[in-house]
Amino acid sequence: DADVTQTPRNRITKTGKRIMLECSQTKGHDRMYWYRQDPGLGLQLIYYSFDVKDINKGEISDGYSVSRQAQAKFSLSLESAIPNQTALYFCATSGDSDEQFFGPGTRLTVL
Amino acid sequence: EDKVVQSPLSLVVHEGDTVTLNCSYEVTNFRSLLWYKQEKKAPTFLFMLTSSGIEKKSGRLSSILDKKELSSILNITATQTGDSAIYLCAQTTSGTYKYIFGTGTRLKVLA
């Protein structure tokens, strides 16, 4: 079984809808991250969390919110989706070293 | 603001060629630089370089950190079609566990 899982893997939604992307990990890591990837723009950090009580904004947090329900779970919400939030979203974790472990990604399309 | 720049943006070579990918960073309190390979979906970890570990090698891939020039290179010798991917570099800084990613280099290896 994968160490970092994301659901859903693909989602098509309409402008204005609320969307939640979920991430779970079995690695026992405290640090979890949400990234967005657009073609030609690499990975941009949306939010990150160092434990259930510590949530931090990344470079592109506007229009997004997160919830760290437990050490193993970190959810990303789009309160009112817009077309320019169409992208590939990755969850990642890290532990004692700087190596990050990525989930398989969620491809989100906002019509 | 910290920034990571990768070059070239894209590269097309033939099997057997040697390629060198570049990553430069502008950051204070540098802690580590990481290289990832991204094929179809999630990035997979290749190397981590730090001030105490400036050279890494694994098979045909090797990477060097130049602390003076604030840059790193990723070398791939005897390229194969399976090396076709986007190669990402990211840096971390002391006192934080944020990762700043470059935009990536898209490598295509032709048979």
pLDDT in tens, A35-81: 999 987 789 999 999 999 999 999 899 999 999 999 999 999 999 99
d(C-alpha B7, C-alpha A106), whole Å: 27
Residues 6-45 of B with CB under 8 A from A: 6, 9, 31-32, 34, 41-45
CB contact under 8 A, A94 and B97: yes
pLDDT for the residue numbered B30: 86
Integer Cα distance of A23 and A20 in angstroms: 10
On whether any CB of chain B is under 8 Å from the CB of A62, the answer is no
Cα B6 to the center of its chain, rounded Å: 8
Q: Which two tokens stand for residue B60?
A: 């045909």
Buried b (16+ CB within 10 A) or exposed e, B28-53: eebebbbbbbbeeebbeebbbbbeee
Give which of B38, B88, B89 to mutate to test A binding, by max A Cβ within 10 Å: B38
Q: Do B102 and A42 touch (CB under 8 A)?
A: yes
Which two tokens mark A37? Answer: 């990837």
Cα separations (Å) of B79 from A14, B13, B27, B42, B54?
43, 8, 31, 21, 23
If we measure between CA atoms, which residue out of A32, A31, A101 comes closest to residue A21?
A: A32
Q: How many CA atoms lie within 13 A of A92 on its CB side?
A: 28
How confident is the model at residue A1, as a pLDDT?
A: 59
Distance of CA B64 to the CA centre of its chain: 9
A98 vs B42, B48, B101: nearest CB: B48
Tell me the pLDDT of chain B (111 aa) as tens digits. 668 999 999 999 999 999 999 999 986 788 899 999 999 889 999 999 998 878 999 999 999 999 888 999 999 999 999 999 999 999 998 888 888 999 999 999 999
pLDDT per position as a tens digit, A7-34: 999 999 999 999 999 999 999 999 999 9
Rounded to a whole number of angstroms, the distance from the CA of A5 to the nearest CA of chain B is 11
- Could you give the percent of chain A with pLDDT greater than 90? 86
Q: Quick check: helix, strand or coil at residue A95? A: coil
A45 and B97 within 8 Å at the Cβ level: the answer is no
